[in-house]
Amino acid sequence: MDIMTEKMAGETTGKTGLDRLWGLIRRHPWLSLAALVATQTAFALQSRALWFSDEVRYADAYAGLLRGRWLVLSLNGVAYPDKPPLYFWFLRLLDALPGISDPAVFFLGAALSGLFILYATLVWARVLGLRDEAGILAGLLLLTTVFFAGLLHYSRMDLLFAALIIASQAAFCLAFTPGKENRRTRLNTLALVLAGLATLTKGPLGLLFPVLTTLLYLAWRGRTREFFRRSMLPGLAALIVLVFSWIAAAYFVEGPGFLHKIFYEQIFQRATKTFHHAEPFYFYLVAFPPCWLPWTFALFALPVRRLFDGAFWRGLWAGRTVSSPLGDAKAWLWFSFLSGLGLLSLLSGKVVVYILPQLAPLALLLSLALLDDAAPRPWQRLWTASGLLFLGLAIVTTQLERFLPVQMSLPGTWAVAGGFAACGAGLLGLRRQNPRRVLTALALLSALWVQPAAQVLSPELDALMSPKPQADMLKAYADKGYLPVAHDIYQGIYSYYLGGVVRETAGFNILDQLVADQDVVLAIKKKHWEKWDTRPKNLTIVLEQWLAGQPYYVIVSRKDGSPPPEQNLPPSP
């Protein structure tokens, strides 16, 4: 429905509240998207503890930054080569705001980074010359994706990483738009600087994603040579200065061994034969559809049969060099989505959150389909399937306690289920309405499940997801002179809440020596405890916690063999 048609329909049937709200969002997209993010994240910045494993590790790295390790991060007192420092510098800026402290700064960083993705997507839509509604609808699609809404409440740098990648891609798109040749040098420089910032946020994929997309698009249009012209040189110089200035500084601070860990262990090994998160090549083909829910059900309304028609592919190939504004935009978006997914699938290490940069182009493509009045689709199928999904989530949520590994109550489940049910009922009730009304309503209704999940349900899950109870016990005994030790556990997960360094061991021989020579408070997985054949008889289990899929013990040992003192802890988070 175009603007004139919508206006005529409004004069005939009268505008609804959703129409007026959509008009407000369309007139003020920047403020509106910020307000919608706030509806999902406000009042939830300090509601829960930090969870295993990345949240607590990144928090300890940030604590090290506050102690002066701002150039090369540290984790549990040693240099941390896994991540560059830019995201942590961003958190430090937020920390300077009045009334902001940890852990609120970590969740504020996640919320703002998610907003930056929406803004970058909006800019990308405008750069591609799409209707102004397309970028807004894409933002609403992202906000109402269960995966994206959840990540707004999870502290890690992937949201900011994705936002910078999308912004870099938008700059490249504008640089290679016909008629923009006189601005190409400046735009290429902007694109490569943004890619450099993404690299300093999480690594070289921040550069590979936008460059690969741009090269594939230009090759498809028969314009590959344009990428390798002099207009790229200033941007390349800026990229080298930006990234390698930090690498050089890290070299002088930590020495060549640190660079070996970055380039060989963190980049080369993770790409070719990872020591962590190894998955088969088809991992993202399985993982992506659930992450795109509820909009995966768009397949029910789209002409998927064309993919099995040879004439479709022959026509696509024959028209690859025929340029048009809409055709160019779709080509950019498809290459961005498919090349990114393909690149990720080639890497040895795979994690679901890595697909975040692919959500934006897919959201823009779906928004174009929703706005395509020349080829209307049976979108009621999408709204119906999505509504049924939310109703199904409501039913499952009410039974969530049955699926827990330990017996405990979850008082927030019914509130979250009610929010899911409201989303499902809203989608079913509006299934025959135009997409603007449906997505506006769903964006508002989503807060009804997100807020109770963040403020009520998530804090209850701290007992299963946060290492804070163990760290509190370690700290309590460390204050009495015991040596805090963690055996064969993910590096640095206790350091933040303990407020200091934890001795970490991998072999039982070292652990045997520590227990024999000192008073020790030890965190150990139950499975390792049972395999510890040489453990002394005088060890006392003072805490058992089920954490992130398996049980852990906190053990106390005195070198003289006497029983340890009892310890009263503050309430669990």
Q: Are residues 192 and 55 in the same domain?
A: yes
- Does the pLDDT at position 8 exceed 60? no
Q: Are residues 68 and 214 in the same domain?
A: yes
- Does the pLDDT at position 481 exceed 60? yes
Question: 3-state DSSP call for residue 382?
Answer: helix
With respect to residue 3, please indicate whether it lies within any of the assigned structural domains: no
pLDDT tens digits along 391-413? 999 999 999 999 999 999 999 99
With respect to residue 46, please indicate whether it lies within any of the assigned structural domains: yes
Determine the structural domain holding residue 389 and report its residue range: 380-461
Identify the pLDDT of residue 567.
63
Give the separation between CA 49 and CA 205, rounded to whole angstroms. Answer: 30
With respect to residue 538, please indicate whether it lies within any of the assigned structural domains: yes
Identify the pLDDT of residue 1.
42
Q: Using the 3D structure, point to which of 437, 461, 485 is the last residue of a domain.
A: 461
Q: Are residues 259 and 181 in the same domain?
A: yes
Q: Are residues 160 and 97 in the same domain?
A: yes
- Does the pLDDT at position 175 exceed 60? yes
With respect to residue 456, please indicate whether it lies within any of the assigned structural domains: yes
Q: Are residues 75 and 177 in the same domain?
A: yes
Identify the pLDDT of residue 14.
61
Give the chain's domain count.
3
- Does the pLDDT at position 505 exceed 50? yes
> What is the CATH classification number for the domain harbouring 482?
3.40.190
Tell whether pTM > 0.85: yes
**Among residues 393, 469, 396, 381, which one has the least CA distance to residue 428?**
381
Q: Are residues 473 and 496 in the same domain?
A: yes
Contact 165, 141 (CB under 8 A): no
What tokens appear for 280 in the block?
């088969």
What does pLDDT average to over the chain?
93
- Does the pLDDT at position 11 exceed 60? no
Question: 3-state DSSP call for residue 82?
Answer: coil
With respect to residue 244, please indicate whether it lies within any of the assigned structural domains: yes
- Does the pLDDT at position 13 exceed 60? no
With respect to residue 275, please indicate whether it lies within any of the assigned structural domains: yes
Q: Are residues 223 and 75 in the same domain?
A: yes
DSSP annotation of 278 reads B
pLDDT band at 269 (very low <50, low <70, confident <90, very high): confident
With respect to residue 14, please indicate whether it lies within any of the assigned structural domains: no
- Cα dihedral across residues 498, 503, 504, 505: positive or negative: negative
Identify the pLDDT of residue 7.
43
Q: Are residues 362 and 386 in the same domain?
A: no
pLDDT band at 319 (very low <50, low <70, confident <90, very high): confident
Residue 254 one-letter amino acid: E
Q: Using the 3D structure, point to which of 348, 370, 392 is the last residue of a domain.
A: 370
Output the DSSP codes for 479-515: TTTPEEEEES--TTTTHHHHTS--EEE-SHHHHHHHH
pLDDT tens digits along 192-250? 999 999 999 999 999 999 999 999 999 999 999 999 999 999 999 999 999 999 999 99
Q: Are residues 332 and 446 in the same domain?
A: no
pLDDT band at 5 (very low <50, low <70, confident <90, very high): very low
Query: What average pLDDT does this structure show over 115-139?
Result: 97
Q: Are residues 391 and 529 in the same domain?
A: no
Give the separation between CA 511 and CA 515, rounded to whole angstroms. Answer: 6
- Does the pLDDT at position 172 exceed 50? yes
pLDDT band at 568 (very low <50, low <70, confident <90, very high): low
With respect to residue 510, please indicate whether it lies within any of the assigned structural domains: yes
Give the separation between CA 520 and CA 524, rounded to whole angstroms. Answer: 12
Look at 155-164, 231-240, 399-408, 446-455 and tell me which has the smallest mean pLDDT.
Answer: 399-408
**Among residues 239, 49, 31, 237, which one has the least CA distance to residue 139?**
31
Question: 3-state DSSP call for residue 467?
Answer: coil
Identify the pLDDT of residue 132.
87
Q: Are residues 243 and 352 in the same domain?
A: yes
The rounded Cα 220 to chain-centroid distance in angstroms is 30
What tokens appear for 113 in the block?
């980074």
Q: Using the 3D structure, point to which of 417, 437, 461 is the last residue of a domain.
A: 461
Q: Are residues 230 and 343 in the same domain?
A: yes
Residue 468 phi, psi dihedral angles, 5° rounding: -55, -45
